Structure 1
Amino acid sequence: MDIQEEKDSSLSEVNYDTWMLNLRFILILLVVIATGIEPIMGRFGVMENLHAWIFIFHIPLFAFVTGYFSRHNLLGRNGWASLCSIAVQYVIFQTLYSTVDVLFFQVPQQKHSFFIPYLMLWFLVAHIGWRVLLRIMCALNIKHPVLISMALGVVAGYLGGDGSWLSLSRLFVFLPFFAAGYTVHPRKLLVLSSGSSRLVQGALSILLLAVVSLLAWHGTPDWLYGKFTYAEMGTGGTTAALSRIGWYLLQAAGSLTFLAFIPQKRSIVTNLGSRTLYVFLLHGLFIRSGIRLGLYEYVRQPADLVILGAAILTITVILALPQTRRLTKWLIEPDLGGFSRMGRQLAVRWRPSRMLKKL
């Protein structure tokens, strides 16, 4: 057996769902880290560099892995039921976070509106938009949805107004990564993340972190957030479009290199990765409470960062445990009942392909 045959054999043994679940847990851990270090970034320059490095790939990869798992329930009746479920989650948690913010967090200049998602809840709104747009592309038999999505992401930057309104900017900016997760088979990525190639990828990812540090990239660039229009970032014309394409290339490269750190075998990380929704929706309550209670005022020395890191890891793991799911499922995954039946009825009565034929 030659080297190429051995490589193909090892790839055939990989369970792609396992790899993606491992990726999902590591990504949600990075989400909590990025949120958890924001209050003290001004005190530690290294935290600003870490924050910028994380933002290069963690939202694109989260959109990618979300697109991958949407293969199971994007179309048909299950697709409509999933859309209803995400919409209900958004209404519940937008109400919850806004209420707690008014009563306890009291974040300065925080807007409270169902049209302005609170913190990380923009991802739920964008997820709804991604699913709707991919359904339309499937109905139209679009052959290159990733390229079409990139074009939409570039053009969306020229929209006027506030890019955070209904997360429209982020919806279009990160649509290509969701489309890639839905259409690109993980096997193609595993070819790049196996054997010696994996070592090269890991080295390049660390090099990217070093470059961020050397450039004194303090504060995450607005381009990485994806929430601002070109006008809000003070640019426009052809330069803006070329800049977005350049950032797309950097984020794609950063995402591919980071995959080298993702384990491919089933472990406790895999099990935790199956419950990241709970971490995503609940971790903000802990971070905001820590800020409001003044706990971050005690993070002054480098040694304190170790304690903060341990606290972040502990919160992430606890929220991903099955016990947390049992306690909070009524809130996060409520029994939709009538909503599910309505979704199934809509799936029968409103089929994009049938409607398009009538146009």
Structure 2
Amino acid sequence: MSSLSATAAPPSTPQPQQGLRRDAFFDNAKYLAIVLVAVGHAWEPLRDGSRTVSALYMLVYAFHMPAFVVVAGYHSRGFDGSEKRVGRLLTGVVLPYVVFETAYTLFTRWTDGVPDRPVTLLEPLYLTWFLAALFVWRLTTPLWRLVRWPVPIALVVAVLASVSPSLGEDLDLQRTLQFLPYFVLGLCLRPEHFRLVRRRRVRMLAVPVFAGALAVAYWAVPRVTSAWFYHRDSAQELGAPAWYGPLVTLALFGSSLLLVACFLSWVPGRRTWFTALGAATLYGYLLHGFVAQVSKYWGWYDPDWLYRPLGAVVVTVVAAVVVTVLCTAPVRRVFRWAVEPKLDWAFRPARREAQRSR
């Protein structure tokens, strides 16, 4: 069950607006990040045999989920609790959560050999935690827009969560609260902030920053557990003193944001061949987990050559290709009913009219 215990960096749900041109920069960023998500999952079985793969894994997990959460927060700035926004939250987040939570539970009964695993909506399984967290984050958006110091307050909440093992697993609340500061920061960002990190000077500085981060990750592999980057456990649950929680939370927040800025500085702002795929990253995110699960069940990682450098390269390329295919139009047509369901019949006439006009 290693693939179930590792966190996934999910994509922000697309928020298309009729009549407005999509920003290619954000679609490009989401596509590149979803590729990193899939590659990270593909690397997981290779970590025990390679310190280099483990270091790359740790580096990717240090920033790709924070990047997604920041972008999700940025695109949630318009959530005001109105009927239209709540309806979109139901169709774009809640219903896909119900569908895929059920599907993953039934699927992993087979792949993990746990026939009695219960179907429950209170304990998100594998990739679905992000949808549950996004639901909570968006509902609290009006609150963060009211308070004077939203990011510091969210950091206090995350710090308290990191020393609270009693939070339990309902709706993966531990992870929801520990990633909250990234979402709140996204709410506070403006277009000019993203323009700042896309300057040529920042792109050049990102090279030594990532090189240094990789060196630190290589050093940390035998010394630090990567579970800190998942943010799903308190310090005590990770076998550390309680005072580690605040220290690590604040340190990871600062270092992760630095890496997120470096990552975004390399994202092209123009339209590319993969820009359209960036609008469908939720498909790639939710569907690639089934491939990751079945790959272990069917023994795709059994050949010894996969644990050599060439094997790691092949695994990386295959993972990138698979998640790319899952974001394409044919796949979207097949699975639209589950990822972007239509619920016109469930809304009152006024709501249905708003859906049609959108």
TM-score bucket of the superposed structures, by smaller chain: 0.7 to 0.9
Residue 250 in structure 1 maps to residue 233 in structure 2: no
Deviations 1:248-270 (A, max 9, x none): 11212221222222111111222
Residue in structure 2 matched with residue 96 of structure 1 by the alignment: 103
**Letter aligned with residue 297 of structure 1:** D
Deviations 1:218-258 (A, max 9, x none): 77532211000232123455443233212211212221222
Residue 145 in structure 1 maps to residue 150 in structure 2: yes
Residue in structure 1 matched with residue 16 of structure 2 by the alignment: none
Deviations 1:2-26 (A, max 9, x none): xxxxxxxxxxxxx992211111111
Conserved 8 A contact 1:156-1:169: yes
**CA pair 73-244 structure 1, distance change in 2 beyond 3 A:** closer
**Letter aligned with residue 107 of structure 2:** V
Residue in structure 2 matched with residue 4 of structure 1 by the alignment: none
For residue 109 of structure 1, report the CA deviation from its aligned partner.
Answer: 11
Conserved 8 A contact 1:80-1:343: no
**CA pair 110-39 structure 1, distance change in 2 beyond 3 A:** farther
Q: Secondary structure at the match of 1:264?
A: coil
Residue in structure 1 matched with residue 192 of structure 2 by the alignment: 187
User: TM-score w.r.t. structure 2 length?
Assistant: 0.84
Conserved 8 A contact 1:52-1:220: no
For residue 312 of structure 1, report the CA deviation from its aligned partner.
Answer: 0.6
Alignment of 1:320-335 (within 5 A): 320-335=327-342
For residues 110 and 44 of structure 1, what CA distance do their matches in structure 2 show?
32
Residue in structure 2 matched with residue 318 of structure 1 by the alignment: 325
| Identity across matched positions, percent | 26
For residues 232 and 28 of structure 2, what CA distance do their matches in structure 1 show?
27
Conserved 8 A contact 1:112-1:118: no
For residues 268 and 205 of structure 2, what CA distance do their matches in structure 1 show?
16
User: TM-score w.r.t. structure 1 length?
Assistant: 0.84
Residue in structure 1 matched with residue 267 of structure 2 by the alignment: 262
Residue in structure 1 matched with residue 314 of structure 2 by the alignment: 307
**CA pair 343-175 structure 1, distance change in 2 beyond 3 A:** farther
Q: Secondary structure at the match of 1:42?
A: helix
Aligned partner of 2:208 among 189, 203, 225: 203
Residue in structure 2 matched with residue 134 of structure 1 by the alignment: 141
**CA pair 56-217 structure 1, distance change in 2 beyond 3 A:** farther
For residues 239 and 134 of structure 1, what CA distance do their matches in structure 2 show?
29
For residues 226 and 205 of structure 1, what CA distance do their matches in structure 2 show?
22
For residues 107 and 220 of structure 1, what CA distance do their matches in structure 2 show?
27
For residues 110 and 210 of structure 1, what CA distance do their matches in structure 2 show?
40
**Letter aligned with residue 38 of structure 1:** E
For residue 78 of structure 1, report the CA deviation from its aligned partner.
Answer: 2.7
**CA pair 207-296 structure 1, distance change in 2 beyond 3 A:** same
For residues 215 and 165 of structure 2, what CA distance do their matches in structure 1 show?
36
C-alpha RMSD over aligned residues: 2.6
Structure 2: segments with no counterpart, 5+ residues: 1-20, 353-358
Deviations 1:8-61 (A, max 9, x none): xxxxxxx99221111111111111111111112112221111110011111111
Conserved 8 A contact 1:49-1:218: no
Residue 297 in structure 1 maps to residue 305 in structure 2: no
Aligned partner of 1:77 among 67, 79, 83: 83
For residue 163 of structure 1, report the CA deviation from its aligned partner.
Answer: 4.6
Conserved 8 A contact 1:64-1:181: yes
Residue 23 in structure 1 maps to residue 25 in structure 2: no
For residues 109 and 190 of structure 1, what CA distance do their matches in structure 2 show?
51
Number of positions where the alignment pairs a residue of Structure 1 with one of Structure 2: 330
Conserved 8 A contact 2:198-2:265: yes
**CA pair 241-300 structure 1, distance change in 2 beyond 3 A:** closer
Residue 67 in structure 1 maps to residue 73 in structure 2: yes
Q: Which moved more, 1:195-204 or 1:287-296?
A: 195-204
**Letter aligned with residue 260 of structure 2:** S
For residue 217 of structure 1, report the CA deviation from its aligned partner.
Answer: 5.0
* Higher CA-based Rg: 1
Q: Which moved more, 1:166-175 or 1:201-210?
A: 201-210
Residue 34 in structure 1 maps to residue 40 in structure 2: yes
For residue 337 of structure 1, report the CA deviation from its aligned partner.
Answer: 2.4
Q: Which moved more, 1:208-217 or 1:193-202?
A: 208-217
Structure 1: segments with no counterpart, 5+ residues: 1-14, 346-359
For residue 343 of structure 1, report the CA deviation from its aligned partner.
Answer: 11
For residue 72 of structure 1, report the CA deviation from its aligned partner.
Answer: 4.5
**Letter aligned with residue 64 of structure 2:** H
**Letter aligned with residue 113 of structure 2:** Q
**Letter aligned with residue 142 of structure 2:** R
Q: Which moved more, 1:66-75 or 1:121-130?
A: 66-75
For residue 156 of structure 1, report the CA deviation from its aligned partner.
Answer: 1.7
